[in-house]
């Protein structure tokens, strides 16, 4: 009798992810994602495939705007798009290529360096601008037209100009070291670690994941604090739009990551299960937090009505 009860108890307590195996989730899952998600998404994918051994996850990292253009312009197959800036999904994918957008994590801008970096012992929140402008110091940033980190760097400089009361300083910074602009922020890591660059503008999470030193910037500058939204909104930068040659104004706002499933996803069933796994506190979001990207679940969702019923518990209307 006890043995029979034990078997019954075990069967009743099998979790929903165990049920995925019984359902036989299988096939390739294609994920385009921001470079700053590379480390956590690799861990999350490994955990998901462990529970679903017949699934093979194929990931492509790029600047978020580049990821979107692979879908819109290059017509590449994709199941899931995860952006470092949720508005990329809103502006470039919805409504033609996606129907909804879930905000799931945050971050902040930081100035990242190593022991090899010139003036690394002296740099602080008051003198970093002057150190970057020193002609003996080289710094790197990513391309605003390809990567949210790129336009967030420009926004950070414009906010710094206001915060430190130094008119014209953003233009000076942007004119310097243009040869070190790269398509996405993670492309700069090798140049920094080799000593070719002294500093790079990067997300705090990526610096933490790679064990790099970083200078935290004031909240008035770092695009982290949701209570400073109106201040962040006071600056903007022009970035490429949907059509060739089109420019749109990208205003400053707190950093928020977004994720969606593409309308014509080749493996929509597995995509839905993966996004569910990612957004669960004890699974994907625990890994995100461990890697320095705080969870925003549940966050307000402007596309609430279009969110699949299985994911509605992770958003607010």
Nearest to 276 by CA among 250, 308, 249, 243: 308
Q: Give mean pLDDT, residues 46-51.
A: 98
pTM flag (> 0.75): yes
Q: For residues 99 and 89, give the distance between their C-alpha atoms in angstroms, rounded to a whole number.
A: 9
> Same CATH topology for 21-106+256-316 and 109-251?
yes
- Fold for 21-106+256-316, please state it: D-Maltodextrin-Binding Protein; domain 2 (3.40.190)
Confidence of residue 298 (pLDDT cuts 50, 70, 90): very high
Q: Is the pLDDT at 20 greater than 70, yes or no?
A: no
Residue 10 is predicted with a pLDDT of 41
Confidence of residue 244 (pLDDT cuts 50, 70, 90): confident
- Fold for 109-251, please state it: D-Maltodextrin-Binding Protein; domain 2 (3.40.190)
Q: Is the pLDDT at 56 greater than 80, yes or no?
A: yes
| Interval 140-190: pLDDT, tens | 999 999 889 999 999 999 999 999 999 999 999 999 999 999 998 888 999
Domain map of the chain by residue range? 21-106+256-316, 109-251
- The conformation of residue 91, written as its DSSP 8-state character, comes to I
- Contacting residues for 90 by C-beta, under 8 A, at least 6 apart: 101, 258, 302
User: Judging by DSSP bridges, how do beta strands 139-142 and 199-203 pair with one another?
Assistant: parallel
Residue 23 is predicted with a pLDDT of 62
């Amino acid at each position: 009798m006890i043995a029979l009860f034990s078997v019954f108890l075990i069967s009743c307590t099998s979790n929903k992810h165990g049920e995925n195996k019984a359902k036989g989730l299988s096939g390739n899952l294609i994920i385009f994602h921001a470079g700053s998600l590379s480390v956590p998404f690799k861990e999350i994918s490994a955990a998901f495939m462990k529970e679903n051994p017949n699934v093979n996850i194929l990931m492509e990292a790029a600047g978020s705007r580049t990821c979107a253009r692979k879908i819109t312009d290059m017509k590449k197959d994709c199941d899931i798009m995860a952006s470092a800036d949720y508005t990329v999904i809103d502006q470039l994918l919805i409504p033609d290529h996606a129907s909804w957008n879930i905000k799931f994590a945050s971050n902040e801008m930081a100035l990242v360096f190593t022991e090899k970096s010139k003036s690394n012992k002296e740099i602080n929140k008051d003198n970093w601008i002057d150190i970057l402008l020193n002609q003996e110091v080289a710094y790197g940033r990513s391309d605003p037209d390809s990567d949210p980190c790129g336009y967030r760097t420009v926004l950070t400089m414009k906010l710094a100009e206001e915060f430190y009361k130094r008119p014209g300083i953003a233009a000076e910074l942007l004119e310097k070291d243009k040869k070190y602009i790269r398509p996405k922020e993670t492309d700069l890591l090798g140049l920094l670690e080799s000593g070719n660059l002294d500093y790079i503008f990067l997300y705090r999470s990526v610096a933490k994941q790679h064990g790099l030193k970083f200078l935290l910037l004031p909240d008035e500058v770092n695009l982290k604090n949701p209570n400073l939204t109106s201040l962040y909104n006071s600056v903007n930068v022009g970035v490429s739009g949907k059509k060739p040659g089109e420019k749109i104004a990208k205003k400053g706002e707190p950093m928020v990551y977004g994720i969606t499933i593409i309308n014509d996803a080749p493996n929509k069933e597995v995509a839905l299960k993966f996004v569910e796994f990612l957004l669960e506190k004890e699974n994907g979001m625990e890994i995100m937090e461990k890697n320095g990207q705080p969870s925003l679940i549940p966050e307000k969702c402007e596309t609430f009505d279009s969110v699949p019923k299985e994911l509605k518990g992770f958003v607010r209307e």
